[in-house]
Chain A
Amino acid sequence: MINEIISMNGYGAYVWSAFSFTLISFTALYFVTKLQLSKEQKRFASKFGSLNVEKARAARSQNINREILSNTSNI
């Protein structure tokens, strides 16, 4: 059974390489995108941390900024 799945009637090299290429591309794109996202989140947190009290209060008044900060704390 396992041998049949691997050999695929002699087409195993073609079938498995096509599926492997697809899954490797998916994994690479997912991790590159995730890395870019966490880099931007960290940059946001670092910039936010360097703001003075007044500016931090003004920034925090926006829902989206609060949302980004709450997600950043989960990284």
Chain B
Amino acid sequence: MFKYFEPNKIFAITSKAPKYVLFLFIIVLTIGLTEALILSPEDYKQSDAVRIMYVHVPAAWISLGIFTSLALLSVGSFVFKNKNFALIAKSLAPSGFIFNIIALVTGSIWGKPTWGTWWAWDARITSMLILALFYGMYLLAWRIYEDKEQVIKVTSLIAILGVVNVPIIKFSVDWWNTLHQPASINILSTNTAIHSSMLVPLGIMTAAFALFSILIFLMKYNTELIKVKNKGLDRL
């Protein structure tokens, strides 16, 4: 099955896709920003400060999703001895890291008017900070190690160790008494504590952020493939 996803076969698609994804991203982001900043209602308790949720929550979701993907791809590269998995993981990491930083910074900005503080060593915030450190180590390892076999082993180890933190982040609000409220959205159930007038902009902004991570992934993956081909030219 993996032969259909060989870089040589999919490059024709991945090299052309970014411009279409960028176009779609701009459209979805424009709709999302209009909904989030103008059309969606203010909260009865938090007033307009609630609008920060439309960038904070999607950024946190996507950074968690990308790190989980890094761990799965790392396991995949070990099990199937497929180096393309490592290349895909490497290309996903930068956008995951940026989303993690966005979640931390916008969370801090949201914390000031809501909790009266920029930062608290609360379970969820601390575990998100630990995730950012794992992302940092992961990206740094790709820069430090020159040997390909060694860098794949080290980065896979970081991703597999770091993914233990993902369920801790998810359930931290249930396991510990934190400043964060319990989860308002459950993807496994139709019950949600958020009204549709807020859920729709949240969904659109999540779609826009997902498109942005796809865009960065495609550009980064193409860069990595060209790097490999550059080395191939040296060997000719």
Chain A residues within 8 Å of B, Cβ to Cβ: 5, 8-12, 14-15, 17-19, 21-22, 25-26, 29-30, 33-34, 36-37, 40-41, 43-44, 47-48, 51, 55, 58-59, 62-65, 67-68, 71
Q: How far is the CB of A20 from chain B (nearest CB, A)?
A: 10
Residues of A within 8 A of B52 (CB): 14-15, 18
Q: Which residue of A lies closest to B54 (CB)?
A: A19
Considering the complex, give the chain B residue whose CB is closest to the CB of A19: B55
**Chain A min CB distance to B35 (Å):** 13
The closest CB in chain B to the CB of A41 belongs to B226
B106 contacts A22, C-beta separation under 8 Å:
yes
Task: Give 24 A-B contacts (CB < 8 Å), ordered by A residue.
Answer: A15-B37, A15-B51, A18-B52, A18-B55, A18-B106, A19-B37, A21-B105, A22-B59, A22-B102, A26-B98, A30-B212, A33-B219, A37-B220, A37-B222, A40-B230, A47-B233, A48-B233, A63-B12, A64-B11, A67-B11, A68-B11, A68-B15, A68-B226, A68-B229
Query: Which residues of chain B come closer than 8 Å to A18, judged between CB atoms?
Result: 52, 55-56, 105-106, 109-110
Shortest A7–chain B CB gap in Å is 9
A63-B8 contact given A21-B109, A30-B215, A33-B223, CB 8 Å threshold: yes
- Indicate which residue in A8, A37, A51 contacts B236 across the interface (CB closer than 8 Å): A51
The answer to whether B236 touches A59 (Cβ under 8 A) is yes
Nearest Cβ on chain A to B217's Cβ, whole angstroms:
9
Closest chain A CB from B112 CB (angstroms)? 6
| A34 lies within 8 A of B8 (CB) | no
Taking the closest CB of chain B, its distance from the CB of A69, in whole angstroms, is: 10
Residues of B within 8 A of A25 (CB): 98, 101-102
Cβ of B174 within 8 Å of any chain A Cβ, yes or no, is no
* Given known A-B contacts A11-B113, A22-B55, A22-B102, A44 and B229 have beta carbons under 8 A apart: yes
In contact, B236 and A55 (Cβ under 8 angstroms): yes
For B174-195 the 0/1 string (1 means CB < 8 A from A) is 0000000000000000000000
B206 at the interface (CB under 8 A from A): no
A5 to B90, CA, bound (A): 40
The reply to whether A9 and B48 contact each other, CB–CB distance below 8 Å, is yes
Q: How far is the CB of B13 from chain A (nearest CB, A)?
A: 10
Point out the residues of chain B lying under 8 angstroms from A36, CB to CB.
220, 223
Contact A64-B8, Cβ < 8 Å, known A59-B236, A71-B15: yes
Interface hub of A8, A19, A62, A71 (most chain B Cβ within 10 A):
A19
Residues of A within 8 A of B113 (CB): 11, 14
Contacts of A41 in B (CB 8 A): 226
A65 contact set on B, CB distance < 8 A: 229
**Is there a chain A Cβ closer than 8 Å to B144's Cβ?**
no
Question: B230: which of A30, A34, A44 is its contact (CB, 8 Å)?
Answer: A44
